[in-house]
Amino acid sequence: MFEYCSMASASLVRSLKQRIEDMQPVRLDERALPTAPALRPLFPGGALRKGASYSIHGSLHLALACLAEASRAGEWCGIVGCPDIGADAAVQAGVALDRCIIIPDTGNDALGVAGTLSEVLAVLLVEGVSLHDTRTERVAARLRENGSALLHLGDWPRAESELRVTGSRWTGLGHGHGLLHARELTVTSLDRRGPRTHLVRFENGTPAAVHGEPGRVALSAV
Amino acid sequence: MSVHPERVLLLWIPDWPALAHRLVSDELDADAPLALTEQQRVVACTPEARGAGVRAGMRERDAVSLCPELAAFPHDHAISQRTFDPVLSAIRQRVPEVEALRPGLCAMRARGPARFYGSEEAAATVVLDAADAATGLTAARAGVADGRFAAEQAARANREAPGVDAPHERIRLVASERTRRFLAPLPVSRAAEPALAETLFGLGIRTLGALAALPESSVRQRFGPAGVAARLRALGTGSAAVEHVRPTAAPRDFAVEAAFEPPLDGADQLAFACVPLAERMLADLAEAGLVCTGLRVEISDDIGVRHERVWDHPHRFTAADAANRVRWQLQALPRAPERGGAGIGALRLVPERTDRAAAHEPGLWNTGPDARVHHHLSRLQSRFGPDGVGTLAIGGGRLLASRQHLVPWNTRGPGHSVAAGSHGPWPGSLPGPAPSRIFSPPLNADLRDATGGNATIDHDDLLVAAPATLEVPPALGASRVAAWSRPWPVRERWWRGSPGRHRLQVALDEGDAWLLLHASGRWFAEGRYD
């Protein structure tokens, strides 16, 4: 009886919460970081959030584009443990290089460095953290405390959102002619909204609105 | 606002730039006419040239036609400044506080030396002797009067000028009560800027006495602050800011050094020893109102081998920064096994570049990078080494890896990040989107055509056969090629015999794209559109 009640009330609370969330007007989220309009549908709440961790699979370029808008808005960013980053690609994505700290080699301690940097940098792009590291929880707590966002290229436990590139299509290149020009990524996001599929288009390295439906979710509910 | 000026003793060496030039060059005769020129005009000449009619401001051609044996040289300010420094230090031995006005001219307060040496005349003689001993010439003149302006006019004055005492051929004294009488007959151009002097001359005001006789309110109304200042000078009562002597500090050597016995072995020990040393140096600098922006670290072995390096700082060095630089420098030293137990015998820190501390005060609203960012990054840098933390900068170049470089944190200020010439035309460079991953050095790749043979490029810069599969071990297993660009050549340093290279963009079936490089029949992966 009691069990039934608690289960019923739990589901009731959940459904009420859902309704409140649906009815809530659009408000300024003070924990939102600047995010490119074309990438907003990828994140719950429509923006990268301070203190949250994100896991990105399959595209460094997508991660750079997520970082770029905050960097352009004057925030300090960091790229940790990614020695082969292309400066030209970062600039094309919109990263301000003089406010973007690069730590190419962390000597197997990307996590510790990310924890330290979270105190001063607003957005961190980290590669090469092993999931088995027990300190991820502690670093996540530091991130929440210091209000900086973390984008991890790979798995991250209890990420705010998990972005996985499931398809990629280049245009501009033919059979022996043309040059790479635009790229369309199919990105599956997994977050509290459930799994969704989006189409992200890059033109000359910059995220651009998808034709027809600018900035909207192109496909939904896989 | 005028005050009664203090007595000033002024030393003037006429034609100093020309004389200095003759002093430093050996091949010139001691009495050959010599002139220094700037933009084809004479700026200074020796008395011999002046005797032949050469004057400052004259065109070089006219000067040479007046005096055909004239030797003309471009004016080098550094020479006249450098050769005047020993004169200044010789005078400082006799009179402690000297203001260097310009090369060949310096001023000091007359009251103290006059009391010490007995009289103004005796003080002037002492200073003249010091200058003569330092230059080896007998060209210097001394003038003593109220204020800098009057003293300079006195040093230039004739023996017979009214109000002038000339106890010695090269010393002119103007007593306080005779200052106005002395200044009155001088031409008005001595006190006023050329443009103002011309106007005054045109108005019939030709002497300082005539200017001094004008009412101050009229001068202010007609000529503004410049006119008032000129009138005050003509009266012999300039403002304190202009007329008083402000002693220039003698150049100091701020270098510090320490010797270690027994020699130190280990970067941490040395860095620890460096902190008090750097603190002493920085305190000395701070006393002089300076900060250090460039530091030379000299580390000497116990066997006498010296390693030097100059480190830059975007803001100013602190003792901890200096210790970090010492540690990095020591870590970069080659560790030769045959040196055995050799350690570091001596450490010397020299401030290579200094700047006025006032220019480095943090603004009311912080303009530099956040202090916290700086602090954290410096800490990480002391852990990962100087090249472990930095920002990327894009320079010029064709290959992507050579276009970008890491600027270590703490080394250069903002504004240096773009190398000169980075915007030049780079034939063969990559248009369109750039790959997000760049491999330096490029990875070995395997591009094969449909028959399984290596894809090759012929002399017309074309692929011989369509590429079918790409393999980049270990990043990419064999994958089918969906589309490819036309290969385009990157010809660099062909004059040095470097083989021509080609670039090729390849898109794979699964949606990946790669930037490939072809050199000497082999394929490399330069970047990946990740």
What's the pLDDT score for residue B525? 92
Q: How far apart are CA B183 and CA B149, in angstroms?
A: 10
Poorest-confidence range of A71-75, A99-103, B395-399, B476-480? B395-399
What is the band of B428 on the pLDDT scale with cuts at 50, 70, 90? confident
CB spacing of A180 vs B485 below 8 angstroms: yes
Span B38-87, pLDDT tens digits: 888 998 888 888 888 888 888 989 998 988 888 888 888 888 888 898 89
B436 neighbourhood in chain A, CB within 8 Å: 59-61, 64, 85-86, 89-90, 93
What is the band of A218 on the pLDDT scale with cuts at 50, 70, 90? very low
**Beta strand pairing call for A53-57 and A100-103:** unpaired
Percentage of residues in chain B having pLDDT higher than 90 = 22
A67 neighbourhood in chain B, CB within 8 Å: none
Tell me the two tokens of residue B383.
């852990």
What is the band of A221 on the pLDDT scale with cuts at 50, 70, 90? very low
Average pLDDT, stretch B245-274?
Answer: 82
Average pLDDT, stretch B199-206?
Answer: 91
Question: Which pTM does this prediction carry?
Answer: 0.59
Count CA atoms closer than 13 A to B310's CA, side-chain side: 9
Q: Which residue of B has its CA nearest to A108?
A: B384
Closest CA of chain B from A94, distance in Å = 12
A96 neighbourhood in chain B, CB within 8 Å: none
Check whether A123 has a pLDDT greater than 90.
Answer: yes
Which of A93, A28, A27 shows the shortest CA–CA distance to A60?
A93
Closest CA of chain A from B335, distance in Å = 22
Closest CA of chain A from B399, distance in Å = 11
Q: Which residue of B has its CA nearest to A109?
A: B384
Tell me the two tokens of residue B211.
């200017």
B438 neighbourhood in chain A, CB within 8 Å: 84-86
Average pLDDT, chain A: 84
What is the band of A128 on the pLDDT scale with cuts at 50, 70, 90? confident
Average pLDDT, stretch A161-190?
Answer: 90
Span B22-39, pLDDT tens digits: 888 877 777 788 889 888
Average pLDDT, chain B: 85
Span B316-332, pLDDT tens digits: 888 888 988 888 888 87
Span B349-379, pLDDT tens digits: 998 888 777 777 766 665 556 777 888 888 8
Tell me the two tokens of residue A102.
């690069």
CB spacing of A120 vs B370 below 8 angstroms: yes
Average pLDDT, stretch B488-507?
Answer: 85
What's the pLDDT score for residue A23? 67
How many of the other CB atoms lie within 10 Å of CB of A92? 21
What's the pLDDT score for residue B422? 59
Residue-by-residue DSSP string for B262-329 = EEE-SHHHHHHHHHHHHHHHHHHHHHTTEEEEEEEEEEEETTS-EEEEEEE-SS---HHHHHHHHHHH
Spatial contact of B470 and B476, defined as CB atoms under 8 Å apart:
yes
CB spacing of A90 vs B400 below 8 angstroms: no
How many contacts, defined by CB atoms under 8 Å, are there between A and B? 145
For A180, the closest of B380, B403, B529 (CB atoms) is B529
